[in-house]
Amino acid sequence: MLPPAPPTTWYPPAPPTIATTPQPYPAGPPPYGPPPAPPAGAPPLPVIRWGLGDVFYGLVLWVVGGIVSTVALFATGAIDLTSGTIGELSLGLVAVTLVSGWIGFVGWPIVASWRKGQRSLAKDFGLDIRGIDVGWGLLGGFGALVVSVAGGVLWTVISGDPSPTNAEFLPSSPGLVGALVLWLLVGVGTPIAEELFFRGLMLRAVARRWSIPVGVVASSIVFGMFHITAFSFAGLFIVFVTASYGVVFAVLAVRANGRLGPSIVAHATVNSVAVLALLLT
């Protein structure tokens, strides 16, 4: 009996260092060995050149966008010059703060796909949503919220204070139209942008270099660190909770063979619940 065919992998290997035929499987023992040679006349396999360097460029652009938004916050007096804290922002400043970060999280993956990949965010980074993704995404999103609630209860028991949040800068009374815009920014746009970068580009780039488990852990830790609000125990708590979200989102993406649909729905569920809780309280 012939051995089973190797499974399809959803992340391409790093470019070969010598002149060889590109293979869609990483080197190693079965089941990760190279597949059979393609039949005669088949189109050549794509050569993917994006990788960890593109993750770095995306993060740099995020920092540049953050500097621009910080300047806007200082110029409008949204940042307290004595304490350095940020109060409740207007809807316009929330849009500036969020969209400025999308330059790196969305803009650079587009550049990397066009210049170094297959010129398709779906083929390169799994940006694809299907009907089945809604159920898995909702399940993962509410599972992540359960972890968050459990962490918040533990924080309250230990410290006696309410659990920290990184949503204090969002407007609490934006009106009906403002609430819709706020949800589109936080509950729709932000999940798509962050999943494209962290579970699309970063997870795949790290998996190409090392392995999928390393990619899951590394992308989740960086994802958590990018949500820190202060260098304190409360800030570390937010990093831990957000990193746990990242693990759930990454597992959903890996389970879907790299497709980002389930993780986007889960991320949107978490953010939408946070916006709804803010508006109701």
**Tens digit of pLDDT for each residue in 192-231?**
999 999 999 999 999 999 999 999 999 999 999 988 776 7
More confident: 166 or 224: 224
pLDDT of residue 30: 44
Q: With pLDDT > 70 as the criterion, what percentage of the chain qualifies?
A: 81
Residue 89 burial (CB count, 10 A): 19
pLDDT of residue 9: 57
By the 8 A CB rule, do 177 and 266 touch?
Answer: no
pLDDT of residue 171: 81
Provide mean pLDDT across the span 105-131. Answer: 94
Q: Which domain holds residue 70?
A: 52-280
Is there a domain that residue 213 lies in?
yes
Overall number of domains in the chain: 1
pLDDT of residue 85 exceeding 60, the answer is yes
Is there a domain that residue 172 lies in?
yes
In this predicted model, what pLDDT tens digit does every residue of 25-51 receive, in sequence order?
Answer: 344 444 444 556 666 666 666 778 999
pLDDT of residue 58 exceeding 90, the answer is yes
Amino acid at 262: P
pLDDT of residue 279: 80
By the 8 A CB rule, do 109 and 200 touch?
Answer: yes
By the 8 A CB rule, do 230 and 180 touch?
Answer: no
Provide mean pLDDT across the span 64-88. Answer: 79
- Which class for 253: exposed (0-12), middle (13-18), buried (19 or more C-beta within 10 A)? buried
Provide mean pLDDT across the span 172-200. Answer: 91
Is there a domain that residue 8 lies in?
no
Is there a domain that residue 33 lies in?
no
Predicted model pTM: 0.84
Mean pLDDT of the chain: 83
Provide mean pLDDT across the span 74-83. Answer: 73
How far apart are the two ends of the chain, measured CA to CA in Å? Answer: 64
pLDDT of residue 98: 92
Is there a domain that residue 1 lies in?
no
Alpha-carbon separation of residue 81 from 78, 85, 86, 91, 126 (angstroms): 9, 8, 10, 21, 43
Is there a domain that residue 30 lies in?
no
pLDDT of residue 73: 84
pLDDT of residue 2: 46
Q: With pLDDT > 90 as the criterion, what percentage of the chain qualifies?
A: 52
Answer whether the bond into residue 6 is a cis peptide, omega within 30°.
no
Is there a domain that residue 127 lies in?
yes
pLDDT of residue 139 exceeding 90, the answer is yes
Provide mean pLDDT across the span 140-148. Answer: 93
pLDDT of residue 248: 96
Alpha-carbon separation of residue 268 from 96, 190, 194, 219, 235 (angstroms): 20, 8, 11, 18, 22
- In sequence order, what are the beta bridge partners of 79? 86
More confident: 140 or 89: 140
